[in-house]
């Protein structure tokens, strides 16, 4: 039989964000320990002083009569940091320290005023000297834990302490994360296949959402895969070929309901990006003269699935997906502006 | 001889089939017309199913869960009897000529939207033998390597055992259960891929008089050879259905549901090493060797890490969504909340039948039998 000897060289790495990997690690470990009651990614909390914070991971952990607390995790990566950056982190940290139970929404996460909130930082791909500098300059309290890991080198994907928290329960939590981070399956079992963070490749220069950053093309690939499954599902389930960006948004994030609570602003921002993406697909289809999806009219966010109803519908979608991906790759950022 | 009749009550139909079984009606036994049944996994109501399949006409009985179905095919009419007392797992009985109705059964289970077969692993079928204290006189083994006959480079990145690269069907009728076990043990010793295609079940009374002698197939179909107690056959079907349903419930309890903070990773491990991309190409084929692809899924590339490639997938049976992480030596499956648990049964048992007998199913790293 013919063996596939070119396997390794053929594999092109197109990784998902480090934040998604870290979330999978933490969720896997906490679930495995039966500690996780509820978790929210990027939970937007409005504070008393009118400011808003959104920690990367906020969870309510409970184990009968032994364990009862909230875990707030902030993920950070830095190569350099200046005064402005330190001030931003400091302000964010002060916000975390000032969370009042009344600021929490009981429809999103259970409220237990007896459960302390443990704040912890996890740094990745950041030099230890820089982590220490940040710790000192923002003056972290004794009870805050700081962990770090590298994605390459001998420390690869193994959490370590930069700062040990003083509270025994928080230390237990951090010890647990460190110990279990050596088990590869906790890194590799993706209960969360992607997050909104992984779609940030669709972003504009200077914060404008009107450009597609194809350099981080994992975003394009993830959205394209969703567009394909979206079209196929509608075909199989005999759902109308007409759709809009909001419906597409709901489809993409259906797996994250309960784990992500998008506020109106961030939902609007993602829908805007998806609209931009769908418009680009429409444009590419027009340029290349093949049918896939079409925009209903210039101003609307309404689209129509126009793919030919061939005998092998799924195969046709796959071919178009590959074609579109190649076309996206050939585009330069400024062509999308 | 086929039955061109309808029944108002299930008990009347049972009596009629029992009389057929005892050969009270037929003068000569015609082996083409055996009593057969199929257990079908369904994700829709009977009304919705009938709306989608206009060639199938329901002739109502006077009972809510028993239905006469008249099906037209190639100018002929065939009669089936449906029990849908379990809305998820229907049982369709018939006494039509096997070669004629095969197309209908395939259409109902393989090509029909929201209808699927059930998928029984070798171990599950063996388990029934032991649990039910049934004896047996034979079995059929079957293995087809669908992953080595693809275009271009092989799916496999290392040489596979010779036995794993062949296809065979082997029927053995050693007459005694003890001999069956002997053969299976010997086949295992020579690393032959052992998968029951069918296993014979003989239910006897205390005097060893045969009550029912029938074959159970891996896809949930059954064929009676002879007997005199039709209700034993129905009881057996019920046992299979209940067990499958119970495991299905467990599987579906483990789908990802972040509202209730539930979810598990299903892992299918194997002793071969594969190229994820080529592997997915086989899963994505519409047909393999002129037959519909048994996996019934479509996977679209999302991203690749050092260790695995992630695919965004649709179950073409129900349109359900799930994610597949393809490693060189295992698959991780993450089912979305509304997906159908039969994906796990279908993937696992078909990989045993068409890829490698060594596949193992694990849930959150613990081995899981289905």
- Per-residue pLDDT, A205: 40
Whether residue B149 has pLDDT greater than 70: no
- Per-residue pLDDT, B252: 97
Task: Note whether B39 and B82 are within 8 A (CB).
Answer: no
Whether residue A6 has pLDDT greater than 50: no
If you count residue pairs, one on A and one on B, with CB atoms under 8 Å apart, how many are there?
155
Return the bridge partners of A39, or none. A59
Task: Note whether A130 and A154 are within 8 A (CB).
Answer: no
Whether residue B275 has pLDDT greater than 90: yes
Are B302 and A222 a contacting pair at CB < 8 A? yes
Nearest CA to B134 out of B185, B204, B224 is that of B204
Are B156 and A254 a contacting pair at CB < 8 A? no
Q: For residue A200, with 0-12 CB atoms within 10 Å meaning exposed, 13-18 middle and 19 or more buried, which class applies?
A: middle
Nearest CA to A201 out of A186, A181, A222, A184 is that of A222
* Percentage of chain B lying above the pLDDT 90 cut: 68
Can you tell me the distance from the alpha carbon of B161 to that of B140, in angstroms, rounded to the nearest whole number? 22
Are A255 and B259 a contacting pair at CB < 8 A? no
Whether residue A207 has pLDDT greater than 60: no
- Per-residue pLDDT, A206: 41
Nearest CA to A36 out of B260, B362, B256, B364 is that of B260
Q: What is the mean pLDDT of chain B?
A: 91
| pLDDT band for position A334 (cuts 50, 70, 90) | very low
Least confident of A75-84, B160-169, B201-210, B333-342: B160-169
Q: Please list every residue in chain A whose beta carbon sits closer than 8 Å to the beta carbon of residue B258.
A: 39, 255-259
Whether residue A25 has pLDDT greater than 60: yes
pLDDT tens figures, B215-230: 999 999 999 999 999 9
pLDDT tens figures, A260-292: 999 898 899 899 889 988 998 998 888 888 888
B310 touches chain A (CB under 8 A): yes
To probe the interface with B, which of A20, A41, A151, A255 has the most B CB atoms within 10 Å? A255
Please list, in sequence order, all residues whose beta carbon lies within 8 angstroms of the beta carbon of residue A312, skipping any fewer than 6 positions away: B286
Whether residue A156 has pLDDT greater than 80: no
Task: Note whether A297 and A288 are within 8 A (CB).
Answer: no
Can you tell me the distance from the alpha carbon of A329 to that of B106, in angstroms, rounded to the nearest whole number? 43
What's this model's pTM, rounded to 2 decimal places?
A: 0.92
| pLDDT band for position A9 (cuts 50, 70, 90) | very low
Main-chain phi, psi angles of A189, to 5 degrees: -85, 105
Task: Note whether B353 and B218 are within 8 A (CB).
Answer: yes
Whether residue A3 has pLDDT greater than 70: no
B151 touches chain A (CB under 8 A): no
Please list, in sequence order, all residues whose beta carbon lies within 8 angstroms of the beta carbon of residue A35, skipping any fewer than 6 positions away: A61, A62, A63, A67
Task: Note whether B266 and B362 are within 8 A (CB).
Answer: yes
Q: Please list every residue in chain A whose beta carbon sits closer than 8 Å to the beta carbon of residue B327.
A: 188
Picking from A7, A233, A257, the nearest residue to B275 by CB comes out as A7
Least confident of B25-29, B138-142, B208-212, B255-259: B25-29
Can you tell me the distance from the alpha carbon of B351 to that of B297, in angstroms, rounded to the nearest whole number? 13
pLDDT tens figures, B98-135: 888 888 888 888 777 889 999 999 999 989 988 888 89
Taking CA–CA distances from B267, the nearest residue in chain A reads A189
- Per-residue pLDDT, B7: 96
Whether residue B5 has pLDDT greater than 90: no
Q: Please list every residue in chain B whose beta carbon sits closer than 8 Å to the beta carbon of residue A237.
A: 319
Task: Note whether B79 and B18 are within 8 A (CB).
Answer: no
pLDDT tens figures, B33-51: 899 999 999 999 999 999 9
Read out DSSP for B340-368?
Answer: -THHHHHHHHHHHHHT-TT-EEEETTEE-
Are B275 and A10 a contacting pair at CB < 8 A? yes
Three-class SS state of A49: coil
Are B313 and A1 a contacting pair at CB < 8 A? no
Whether residue A216 has pLDDT greater than 80: no
Higher-scoring residue by pLDDT: B359, B174? B359
Are A218 and B303 a contacting pair at CB < 8 A? yes
Whether residue A27 has pLDDT greater than 50: yes
| A117-124 and A145-149 strand pairing | parallel
| pLDDT band for position B29 (cuts 50, 70, 90) | low
Distance in Å, alpha carbon of A142 to nearest chain B alpha carbon: 31
Can you tell me the distance from the alpha carbon of A257 to that of A260, in angstroms, rounded to the nearest whole number? 6
Rounded average pLDDT over A175-180: 98
Whether residue B2 has pLDDT greater than 80: no
* Percentage of chain A lying above the pLDDT 70 cut: 89
A162: enclosing H helix or E strand: strand A160-163
- Per-residue pLDDT, A208: 43
Q: Please list every residue in chain A whose beta carbon sits closer than 8 Å to the beta carbon of residue B157.
A: 3-5, 7
Tell me how far apart the terminal alpha carbons of chain B are, to the nearest angstrom: 37
- Per-residue pLDDT, B324: 98
Picking from A15, A39, A229, the nearest residue to B312 by CB comes out as A229
Three-class SS state of B66: strand
- Per-residue pLDDT, A61: 97
Whether residue A160 has pLDDT greater than 70: yes
Q: For residue B272, with 0-12 CB atoms within 10 Å meaning exposed, 13-18 middle and 19 or more buried, which class applies?
A: buried
Give me the interface pTM, i.e. the ipTM. 0.91
Taking CA–CA distances from A152, the nearest residue in chain B reads B306
| pLDDT band for position B26 (cuts 50, 70, 90) | low
Task: Note whether A141 and A168 are within 8 A (CB).
Answer: no
């Amino acid at each position: 039989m013919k063996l596939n000897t070119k396997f390794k060289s053929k594999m092109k790495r197109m990784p998902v964000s480090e934040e998604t990997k870290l979330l999978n690690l933490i969720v896997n470990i906490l679930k495995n320990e039966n500690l996780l009651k509820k978790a929210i990614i990027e939970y937007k909390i409005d504070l008393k002083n009118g400011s808003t914070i959104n920690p990367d991971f906020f969870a309510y952990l409970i184990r009968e009569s032994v364990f009862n607390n909230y875990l707030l995790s902030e993920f950070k990566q830095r190569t350099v940091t200046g005064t402005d950056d330190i001030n931003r982190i400091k302000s964010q940290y002060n916000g975390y320290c000032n969370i009042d139970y009344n600021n929490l929404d009981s429809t999103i996460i259970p409220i237990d005023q007896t459960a302390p909130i443990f704040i912890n930082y996890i740094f990745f791909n950041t030099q230890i000297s820089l982590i220490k500098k940040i710790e000192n300059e923002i003056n972290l309290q004794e009870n805050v834990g700081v962990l770090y890991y590298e994605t390459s080198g001998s420390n690869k994907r193994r959490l370590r302490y930069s700062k040990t928290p003083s509270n025994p329960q928080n230390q237990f939590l951090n010890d647990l994360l460190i110990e279990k981070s050596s088990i590869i399956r906790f890194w590799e079992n993706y209960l969360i296949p992607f997050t909104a963070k992984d779609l940030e490749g669709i972003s504009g220069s200077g914060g404008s959402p009107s450009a597609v950053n194809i350099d981080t093309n994992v975003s394009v690939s993830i959205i394209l895969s969703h567009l394909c499954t979206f079209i196929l599902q509608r075909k199989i389930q005999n759902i109308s070929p007409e759709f809009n960006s909001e419906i597409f948004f709901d489809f993409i994030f259906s797996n994250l309901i309960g784990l992500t609570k998008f506020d109106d602003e961030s939902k609007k921002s993602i829908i805007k990006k998806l609209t931009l993406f769908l418009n680009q697909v429409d444009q590419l289809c027009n340029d290349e003269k093949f049918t896939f999806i079409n925009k209903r009219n210039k101003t609307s966010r309404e689209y129509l699935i126009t793919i030919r109803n061939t005998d092998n519908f799924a195969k046709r979608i796959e071919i178009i997906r590959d074609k579109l991906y190649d076309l996206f790759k050939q585009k330069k950022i400024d062509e999308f502006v | 001889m086929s039955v061109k009749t309808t029944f108002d009550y299930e008990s009347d139909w049972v009596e009629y089939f029992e009389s057929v079984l005892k050969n009270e009606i037929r003068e000569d036994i015609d082996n083409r017309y055996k009593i057969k049944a199929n257990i079908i996994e369904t994700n829709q109501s009977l009304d919705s199913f009938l709306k989608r399949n206009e060639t199938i006409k329901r002739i109502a009985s006077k009972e809510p869960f028993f239905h006469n179905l008249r099906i037209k095919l190639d100018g002929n009419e065939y009669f089936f009897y449906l029990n849908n007392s379990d809305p998820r797992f229907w049982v369709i009985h018939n006494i039509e000529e096997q070669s004629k109705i095969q197309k209908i059964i395939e259409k109902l289970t393989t090509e029909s939207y929201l209808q699927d077969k059930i998928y029984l692993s070798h171990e599950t079928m063996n388990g029934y033998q032991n649990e039910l204290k049934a004896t047996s006189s034979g079995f059929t083994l079957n293995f087809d390597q669908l992953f080595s006959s693809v275009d271009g480079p092989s799916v496999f990145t290392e040489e596979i055992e010779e036995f794993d690269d062949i296809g065979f069907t082997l029927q053995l009728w050693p007459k005694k259960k003890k001999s069956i076990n002997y053969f299976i043990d010997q086949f295992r010793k020579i690393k032959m891929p052992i998968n029951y295609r069918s296993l014979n079940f003989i239910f006897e009374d205390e005097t060893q008089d045969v009550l029912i002698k029938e074959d159970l197939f891996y896809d949930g179909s059954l064929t009676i050879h002879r007997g005199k107690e039709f209700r034993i056959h129905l009881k057996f079907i019920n046992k299979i259905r209940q067990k499958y349903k119970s495991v299905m419930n467990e599987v579906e309890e483990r789908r990802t549901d972040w509202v209730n903070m539930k979810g598990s990773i299903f892992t299918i491990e194997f002793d071969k090493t594969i190229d994820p991309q080529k592997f997915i190409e086989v899963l994505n084929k519409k047909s393999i060797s002129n037959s519909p692809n048994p996996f019934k899924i479509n996977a679209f590339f999302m991203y690749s890490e050092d260790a695995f490639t992630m695919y965004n997938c649709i179950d073409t049976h129900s349109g359900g969504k799930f994610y597949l992480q393809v490693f060189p030596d295992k698959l991780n499956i993450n089912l979305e909340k509304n997906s159908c648990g039969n994906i796990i049964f279908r993937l696992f048992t078909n990989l045993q039948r068409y890829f490698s007998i060594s596949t193992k199913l694990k849930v959150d790293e613990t081995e899981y039998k289905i």
